[in-house]
Amino acid sequence: MIDVLVEASSPDLYAEIADLLRDHSEIRVMESAPNAASESQPQPGVVIIAADSHGEPDFEYFSSNERGPNASDWNVGGWNAAGVPVILLVDHPTRMASGALPAGVRAVLPRNITSTEIAAAIEAVAAGLFVFHPADIDSIPALRPPQSETVPELGEPLVEHLTPREIEVLQLLSAGLGNKEIAARLNISEHTAKFHVASIMGKLGAATRTEAVTLGIRHGLVMI
């Protein structure tokens, strides 16, 4: 069971997001907000911050990690310090991501997300993954691998190691399997398979699935 705290810029938006979550037996919406700094109060497993266009935090707020005029109620830094992952739901995820990620937000997604998508995102960030909508990945500068003239040498250490599950997914990628086939093989949802693939590409600095496999081979993660 994952306890989820929903913070929204309006009561109607709160009700909308809470309704998306109540159909999932593994998710429990917290009725009251604990203090992020309190050790005596039960802490949420995930915090969702949902903002419409009128309550959306300014880009400068995330960039400077200071509270802006539209973000006085948001406490991303506090939840991040408490080790609680934050999901940001906004109208313009691509514009917000570059500032939100350095502030500790784990997922930046469109506000019109479906019930299935938000449940998968909660599961993923609770497991330590970053989550982005597939349509936004290529447009978010922070997710683009740095341009480099050099190619990693065989055995060169990774900046961030892949988890055992990600190595399994990478090996299945090398076999030419798609997300649906990977999900069936590992008995996970297709959304979770997509999140694993995105995380692998981010950690390896790969722009495509083929490049991820090539880099995996160079790093000794995939046997050929």
CA contacts within 13 A on the Cβ side of 122: 29
pLDDT in tens, 192-218: 888 899 888 888 888 888 888 888 877
pTM above 0.75?
A: no
Q: Which residue has the tokens 């539209």?
A: 70
Q: pLDDT: is 68 or 78 the higher one?
A: 78
Task: Please check whether residue 223 lies inside any domain of the structure.
Answer: no
64 is written with which tokens? 């400077």
pLDDT in tens, 134-174: 666 665 655 555 444 444 444 455 556 788 888 889 888 88
**Final residue belonging to a domain, choices 120, 142, 164:** 142
**Final residue belonging to a domain, choices 142, 176, 202:** 142
Q: 203, 174, 169, 207: which is closest to 189 by C-alpha?
A: 169
Mean pLDDT value across the chain: 75
| 127, 20: one domain | yes
Rounded to an integer, the average pLDDT of 101-111 is 80
| 130, 196: one domain | no
Q: Are 54 and 15 in contact (CB under 8 A)?
A: no
Please report the pLDDT score of residue 57 as a whole number: 54
134 is written with which tokens? 């597939």
Rounded to an integer, the average pLDDT of 12-22 is 88
**What CATH number is associated with residue 96?**
3.40.50.2300
Instruction: Report whether pLDDT(66) > 70.
Output: no
Please report the pLDDT score of residue 72 as a whole number: 38
Low-confidence winner among 64-68, 82-86, 87-91, 144-148 (lowest mean pLDDT): 64-68
Domain that holds residue 164: 150-218
Rounded to an integer, the average pLDDT of 167-194 is 88
Q: 5, 198, 200: which is closest to 97 by C-alpha?
A: 198
Longest dimension (CA), the chain: 55
Please report the pLDDT score of residue 127 as a whole number: 84
Q: Which residues contact 11 (CB under 8 A, 6 or more apart)?
A: none
pLDDT-based confidence at 20, cuts 50/70/90? confident
**Final residue belonging to a domain, choices 142, 173, 194:** 142
